[in-house]
Amino acid sequence: MTATSADFALRAESLDAADPLRDYPARFLGSDDPEIVAYLDGNSLGRPPRASAERIAAFVADGWGRRLIRGWDEQWFDLPLTLGDRIGALLLGAASGQTTIGDSTSVLLYKLARGALALRPGRTEIVLDRDNFPTDRYLLESIAADLGLTLRWLEPDSRGGVTAADLARVVSERTALVVLSHVAYRSAYLLDMPEIGAITHEAGALLLLDLCHSVGAVPIELDSWAVDFAVGCTYKYLNGGPGSPAFGYVAARHLDDFVQPIWGWMGRAEPFDMAQGYRPAPGIRRLISGTPAILGMIAVQDTLDMIEEAGMAAIREKSVALTEFALDLVRAWLIPHGVVVSSPVDPARRGGHITIDHPRFREIVERLWQRGVIPDFRGPDGIRIGLSPLSTTFQETLTGVAEIRRELDH
Ligand SMILES: *Cc1c(COP(=O)(O)O)cnc(C)c1O
């Protein structure tokens, strides 16, 4: 070991020892599994909280098993709204009655975008960016094709993201809707809020934010930022499990006029009347279409409990410390190998992960996965190091970057 490596090892040790959230990693299943050497992809699929194994088993045995159909009356019918309110209060800066949970992010994004566009008749453009997550781009392509609208593509710096100045240049009286990710899934660029919202609204347009890569890692204030609509995943930093349902937010000022296009019975006023003709339910229930995935809503509650206990401020602080530490390691060990940092260096403009690029990363990630070192690969040649503040340790971060260096040494 070189002196520098020893210094970093000491630093990881002391950062972990001084970490106010140091007890949380052990609360996740697999944290003591020797075959999982470093899990650096909690921003793609969060680890399971130990408490979730029990909560899910209890739900199957007692909730589903013994309450049976009565469970719907007793709890499940309102769960999308009660859990939505909890996510809103704890994570989104959203007053009650504006958030619900159900469907996938893709489906909710479609419903929100269509509902938003219907509120801006006569306007012909949707503003989006080339570096947004594919599902966001494809859905808006589909909607633009259906409605005969024009997509105004921003081409941000791929190591950064859409700046307020970029947005100000393209919005106009033709803009109906702006759709952006709060944290960019590849670069981790963190949008300049509330500035982005203010620019959108000055043009008379509406803002739909995708929170998949920020929720649970970065503080969010939808109400005070005057965001119109938002959507986000629960299986990334919220550890809800593969395919757990997404949440959707509609600002209270839009709720009376908001109508989404998938008119299912559970989002209708008086759904149990089974009556003729669709009328949207009052309030945020109108965002719901059909029966939501109750089983998929169970595990996320354990992460909400942990976040409530730890506090979002401490979580963001740890997240910044993790990405700063990872960047220091990358600078010392990987940049000499020709690795390029493709994330903002300013922590105020960066979410909870970092992306680094090198032409050999595709083959390297394959070998790392076999050894239980698990970052993810993002083409054309990026490694994304996801650092989930509740479950990732500084030691794990160090191990992950050291293993990448070992591969590059060969
Ligand atoms: C992960 C992610 C999604 C995922 O959408 P699904 O419908 O759950 O597959 C969407 N948008 C962004 C920005 C994401 O990071």
**pLDDT per residue over 282-322, tens digit each?**
999 999 999 999 999 999 999 999 999 999 999 999 999 99
For residues 248, 95, 225 and 101, what is the CA-based torsion angle, rounded to 10 degrees? -10
Cα–Cα distance for residue pair 258/283, rounded to 1 Å: 9
Locate 223 and state its tokens. 């109400």
Task: Quote the DSSP letter at residue 330.
Answer: I
Cα–Cα distance for residue pair 83/287, rounded to 1 Å: 14
Average pLDDT, the chain: 97
**Ligand 1 pocket test, candidate residues 106, 220, 233, most atoms within 8 A of CB:** 233
Give the domains, in start order, of the chain with CATH numbers: 5-48+311-409 (3.90.1150.10), 76-307 (3.40.640.10)
Locate 269 and state its tokens. 């006023």
Question: What residue ranges line ligand 1, CB within 6 angstroms?
Answer: 104-106, 133, 135-136, 181, 185, 210, 212-213, 233
Which pLDDT does position 2 carry in this prediction?
Answer: 60
With cut-offs at 50, 70 and 90, classify the pLDDT of residue 181: very high
Which pLDDT does position 408 carry in this prediction?
Answer: 97
Decide: 298 and 56 in contact? Cβ < 8 Å.
Answer: yes
Which pLDDT does position 355 carry in this prediction?
Answer: 98
- Residue 16's H or E segment, with its range, is helix 3-18
Query: Per-residue pLDDT for 1 more than 60?
Result: no
For the CA of 243, the closest atom of ligand 1 is 8
Q: Residue 351 Cα, ligand 1 centroid: separation in angstroms? A: 16
Locate 302 and state its tokens. 């354990």
Stated pTM of the model: 0.97
Select from 81, 75, 89 the least CA-distant residue to 281. Answer: 81
Locate 108 and state its tokens. 């909710």
Q: Residue 236 Cα, ligand 1 centroid: separation in angstroms? A: 9
- Residue 154's H or E segment, with its range, is strand 150-154
Residues 343-369, mean pLDDT to the nearest whole number: 97
3-state secondary structure of 114: helix
Residues 167-193, mean pLDDT to the nearest whole number: 98
Q: Residue 33 Cα, ligand 1 centroid: separation in angstroms? A: 28
With cut-offs at 50, 70 and 90, classify the pLDDT of residue 222: very high
Residues 11-26, mean pLDDT to the nearest whole number: 98
- Residue 125's H or E segment, with its range, is strand 125-129
Select from 360, 322, 320 the least CA-distant residue to 339. Answer: 360
For the CA of 236, the closest atom of ligand 1 is 1
- Taking CA atoms only, the protein residue closest to ligand 1 atom 5 is 105
Q: Residue 233 Cα, ligand 1 centroid: separation in angstroms? A: 6
The DSSP-derived string for 38-100 is EE-BTTTSPPPBHHHHHHHHHIIIIIIIIITTHHIIIIITTHHHHHHHHHIIIII---TTSEE
For the CA of 105, the closest atom of ligand 1 is 7
Which pLDDT does position 4 carry in this prediction?
Answer: 80
Residues 158-181, mean pLDDT to the nearest whole number: 98
**pLDDT per residue over 142-155, tens digit each?**
999 999 999 999 99
Query: Per-residue pLDDT for 3 more than 70?
Result: no
Cα-based distances in Å from 92 to 209, 296, 318, 322: 11, 20, 19, 22
Q: So which residues are the catalytic ones? A: 133, 210, 235-236, 384
**Ligand 1 pocket test, candidate residues 106, 110, 131, most atoms within 8 A of CB:** 106
**pLDDT per residue over 81-123, tens digit each?**
999 999 999 999 999 999 999 999 999 999 999 999 999 999 9
